[in-house]
Amino acid sequence: MGDSGLLAIHPAGQSGGLGAGRVAARAYRKKLRSWHARAAFAGALVAIATIWPFNIPNLLAEGSWAAGLHFPRLLDWNEARSLAGVIERNHLNDRLLQVYETSFGPAIAVYTPVVLQRGHWVEVQPLHDPAADLSAGIKAYVLPLGPEDPFLLEMRDRGLVHVWGGTIDSCVVTLDGPADAKVAGEVFFKTVVKNSRWLSANAINNKMPGADEMKTMLTGAGLAAHQAPLNQQRFHAARMDLATLIYAYAMEKSDPQVALGLRDAASAFGGMASFLSDGTAIGFVSDAQIASMRKNAAALADVLEEPDIASNRGRVGDAFDQLFHNFFGNAA
């Protein structure tokens, strides 16, 4: 990683582990001088690598999934492969890619070379991420929103975003424009208020199902039924993510500081969508945090509906800080 604060990720096998492989090969040749010893050692490694994944717990999990008894998974590799295909077919590989959940970015990179805006997998990070200063318009985004979502299509039809494709759960988009600041502001306030109200009334915790629900899930359509309300709240958070990005892009020339804050808020909405729906975030948030989030989402909507609130940055900023700090501050 250079001074840009960006991390270039390439498909598995092209770079990582090469140094360790050379060390192992050197030790193999130096320590095991006998042909028979080398053959036995290599055979043992192959046997362990082949047989070990087929231990009893893994066989049960793989067998039950193959039989149609589906359960929440940490990563959806089919999703990653599909999104990588969208990026590759549309020649977006050289765009800085901002993924709504940073730990999902490397999964996409397994299937196609991408340049990822760094996430929490970078062990040493600067206090200020230089990538945060870049224009929202130069990036491509993986949003936690299906490409047929009505709000997304409305923004596309208004010439504010380009939708490149995706899956039922996520899409790849870039921003068109920038939009007129007044138009983008209207989209932002209306969308955040509407979807904050929905989350404040309906959000549930993304946690491991209880024993009774787990039995129901292991019956064909059970997993889909479990996931449906989680995806619904995912999409409400994602609409706020997109509306905030559009407003951030529109404000970059007239007020760069406000634009910076909006870009940060958009990223936070994307992370919230992941915590509310993804398998990788099951159990990260407590019931108490969900209750607090619902309360703070309602408070944010109240603030944004106050007369002349657009000129009161302090109250808006405090409301956003309260929502995000309480939601993410104590997550596992």
| Chain position carrying tokens 């080398």 | 38
* pLDDT (0 to 100) of residue 140: 97
Closest by Cα among 169, 138, 119, 173 to 9: 119
Cα–Cα distances in Å, from 73 out to 62, 127, 243? Answer: 12, 33, 29
* pLDDT (0 to 100) of residue 301: 96
Task: Indicate the DSSP class of residue 179.
Answer: P
DSSP string, 82-123: HHHHHHHHTT-TTSEEEESSGGGHHHHHTTS-EEEEP-TT-S
CA 117 to chain CA centroid, Å, is 12
* pLDDT (0 to 100) of residue 70: 55
Q: What is the pLDDT of residues 21-40, one digit of tens each?
A: 555 666 656 666 677 777 88
* pLDDT (0 to 100) of residue 14: 36
Taking the CA atoms of residue 168, residue 174, residue 175 and residue 176 in that order, the dihedral angle to the nearest 10 degrees is -110
Q: What is the pLDDT of residues 255-306, one digit of tens each?
A: 999 999 999 999 999 999 999 998 888 888 899 999 999 999 999 999 999 8
Sign for the CA dihedral angle at 155, 160, 164, 167 comes to negative
| Chain position carrying tokens 């449906």 | 228
* pLDDT (0 to 100) of residue 53: 63
With a cut of 70, list the residues of the chain below it in pLDDT: 1-33, 51-74, 118-126, 210-223, 330-332
Pairing of strands 161-166, 139-143: unpaired
